[in-house]
Structure 1
Amino acid sequence: MEGDALSIGRLPEEIIRLAPGTPLRDGLDRIVSGHTGALIVLGTSDALQAISTGGFVIDVPFTAPQLRELAKMDGAIVLSDNADRIVAAGVHLSPDASLPTGETGTRHRSAERVARQVGLPVVTVSASMSTISLFTGGSRIVVPRPDELVARANQALAAIGVHRERLTASLTRLNGLELHDAVTLRDVAHVGQRFEMTNRLAGEASTYVSALGVDGRLPALQLRDLVDDLTPLSSLIQRDYVCEGAETMPFAGLTQLDDQDLFDIVLVGRRLGFPADLHLDSPIRPRGLRLLASVPRLPAGVSARLVAAFDGLPGLAAASDADLMAVEGVTEPLAHAVRDSLAHVAGTPPTP
């Protein structure tokens, strides 16, 4: 069976424990460097005891050098559930031979069957290939080298940058459409699609960054810079375009679409909660909370009252200072700020 590549949603928690800089990874790297093999069970259970014979109990604190020395012996090494202790070594494992396996090597066949039978993750080190593999359930993942993970993380970050630019362009276009009361379902669906694409890439990049351990600090900072503002921004979009009778527009519904369906704008619109009788060119009116959120020092409560007082963004943009100041909580400086901000978005000077 070929080792699986890392992908979104398929990164087991145990891979994080094998990240560079962790004590367990240090021990595994020592075994690889020594050109010896190993079979290591991460955890103990009655089911594991039932298929274990021989060996000897150690039950000592985990250290990388000790793991390396014990790997020179025949038999499996058993660690505690959190891998902070070496429980036993030289253990002979006898899993059910009828369990299916696609592996050819003796060590890897045993590892896959043990993982299937007892439900514990099993790590192997191949002496001939100098690779580390993780078996969980019925799957095997070849643990990537740090340089491979860095390359994948950089590719994901570059893709996020491209999609983030497209999302920004879609939002900029939406700004003008909102102020001219010209937004359609197609426009909103495109923005939702861009958000979901960017979030999926961010999830993949986060997978690689987590697997990098201590080597992932720089990519983690780059990822944060790219996506930190997406959550509050998407929240405002969802509140702006919520359908009547609902509290928010369900962006979460897009996560259930596969990559191919995400390109179907009609399907995206339905997942966002819009009625089936609306076509893509149906007009949609925003509440205006997103654009008002860009006004400096404008309290959220005042934004809500402004939205309630004026019939959409065009009405807000056309309002005078006196009109705005008639709303509770709007001072003269806030009124100026609201008008200046909306005029800036529209690309026109504020009306005197």
Structure 2
Amino acid sequence: MPYPDFRTTIADVAPGSALRDGLERILRGRTGAIVVLGHGPEVEELCSGGFELDVEFSPSRLRELAKMDGAVVVDPDNSRIRRANVQLLPDPNIATNETGMRHRTAQRVSEQAGVPVISVSQSMHTIALYLHGERHVLGSADVLLAKANQALSTLERYQVRVQEVLANLTTLEIEDLVTARDVVQVAHRIEMVIRIWQEVDGYVVELGTDGRLVQLQLVELVSGIAHDRDLVLDDYATFDRDEAVGRIAALDAQQLASPTDVARALRLPLGQQGLDTPLSPRGHRMLDHVPRLPRTVAVSIANHMGSLQRLLGATTEELQEVEGVGPLRARSVREGLSRLVEASIVERRF
């Protein structure tokens, strides 16, 4: 039996799903339960007693079967109930930090069989999911919505700040005044937006059908942020972009707040001036703003020119030396870059 994905399992028990409906009915009935979300040899060897059913899953059936003392076993896709009133006998030597018998059993079965196990607590009035050695308490839709909306507000503020630092970076690039500190500031802000995005996305998954409006807002807020990150890395990273993304993502909160740690993660060439070391972009981000310029052609131009300053000073004849760039495209690129420079100067003045 393949090891289930935590995110997929959370979605299976989100509000609006049949399984969540059944679990909520158990809570309202003030009873407890253990529900094993998987059926196979790994689970069968831990089962004792009870009876086999193999009936279609329904919330009402789950509620009625949970009135018995034993566990309920369902298919991995939650389509059929396979067994009920089962006594689970996991290895008692498996370490657990739980105290209640039901929770200890649920955690051990999940660890030993490699399947998600849900424990409904009558006394604590909670639903806990065990998987991958983790315990996740399913929150109510109201609480999750409140957290998601708060995170969305924070995300919106950070996104505004990202656009500000990106605009400032553009101006500095045109004037050839970029330092490592400027690049680190942009990388830090973008990574913060991505982390908040991931947090809100987790709420969306857990909210299920109740999270559709949050998801629409999230998609609108983060549109283009990953593309902006990739362009910045293409301009300044000295190694593979995907590796750079991974190195930034691996930083903890304290390291991400440290400009030096971020610079090291990006392997920026810091000289004796440290974070004030001048850097020169390759021009990928600037070319991305040129209308109707295919990305493949933009990459070829940036690679051919080598730096943004050489690109900004290139003539149409020099641009035509790049494969895929003819007279019309060369003129379009030249005019597009000139407009970007002029717009940056005007914005700087006002």
Q: Check whether TM > 0.5.
A: yes
* 1:329 aligned residue: 326
**TM-fit CA distance, 1:315:** 5.1
Change (3 A) 1:348 1:77: closer
* Separation in structure 2 between the aligned mates of residue 307 and residue 101 of structure 1, nearest angstrom: 56
**TM-fit CA distance, 1:143:** 0.8
* 1:251 aligned residue: 245
**Structure 1 stretch displaced more, 120-129 or 84-93:** 120-129
**Aligned mate of 1:126, from 121, 129, 134:** 121
Residue-by-residue CA offset, 1:134-170 (whole Å, 9 max, x unaligned) = 1225432211111111112112212211221221111
**Aligned mate of 2:90, from 87, 90, 95:** 95
Sequence identity of aligned pairs in percent? 40
Change (3 A) 1:51 1:300: closer
The 8 Å contact of residues 27 and 68 in structure 1, kept in 2 or not, is answered as: yes
**TM-fit CA distance, 1:130:** 2.6
Three-state SS of the structure 2 residue aligned to 1:36 is: coil
**Aligned mate of 2:169, from 164, 168, 174:** 174
Map residues 241-320 of structure 1 onto 2, 5 A cutoff: 241-243=236-238, 246=239, 248=241, 250-275=244-269, 277=271, 279-300=274-295, 302-304=297-299, 306-307=301-302, 312-314=307-309, 316-317=311-312
* Separation in structure 2 between the aligned mates of residue 316 and residue 137 of structure 1, nearest angstrom: 51
The 8 Å contact of residues 185 and 283 in structure 1, kept in 2 or not, is answered as: yes
* 1:340 aligned residue: 339
* 2:152 aligned residue: 157
The 8 Å contact of residues 180 and 270 in structure 2, kept in 1 or not, is answered as: no
The 8 Å contact of residues 325 and 335 in structure 1, kept in 2 or not, is answered as: no
* Separation in structure 1 between the aligned mates of residue 336 and residue 167 of structure 2, nearest angstrom: 20
Three-state SS of the structure 1 residue aligned to 2:275 is: coil
Indicate the RMSD between aligned Cα atoms, in angstroms.
Answer: 2.7
* 1:49 aligned residue: 44
* Separation in structure 2 between the aligned mates of residue 98 and residue 251 of structure 1, nearest angstrom: 40
Change (3 A) 1:293 1:102: closer
- The letter for the 2-side match of 1:250 is A
* Separation in structure 2 between the aligned mates of residue 47 and residue 205 of structure 1, nearest angstrom: 34
Higher helix share: 2
Three-state SS of the structure 2 residue aligned to 1:78 is: strand
* Separation in structure 1 between the aligned mates of residue 254 and residue 45 of structure 2, nearest angstrom: 46
1:186 aligns with 2:181: yes
* Separation in structure 2 between the aligned mates of residue 16 and residue 204 of structure 1, nearest angstrom: 15
* Separation in structure 1 between the aligned mates of residue 248 and residue 202 of structure 2, nearest angstrom: 20
Residue-by-residue CA offset, 1:242-276 (whole Å, 9 max, x unaligned) = 33xx4548232111111101111112111112245
- The letter for the 2-side match of 1:129 is M
Structure 2 portions without partners, runs of 5+: none
* Separation in structure 2 between the aligned mates of residue 54 and residue 29 of structure 1, nearest angstrom: 26
Three-state SS of the structure 1 residue aligned to 2:16 is: coil
* Separation in structure 1 between the aligned mates of residue 140 and residue 264 of structure 2, nearest angstrom: 42
Residue-by-residue CA offset, 1:20-57 (whole Å, 9 max, x unaligned) = 11111111112122222211111123343233221110
* Separation in structure 1 between the aligned mates of residue 160 and residue 270 of structure 2, nearest angstrom: 30
* Separation in structure 1 between the aligned mates of residue 9 and residue 24 of structure 2, nearest angstrom: 16
The 8 Å contact of residues 174 and 183 in structure 1, kept in 2 or not, is answered as: yes
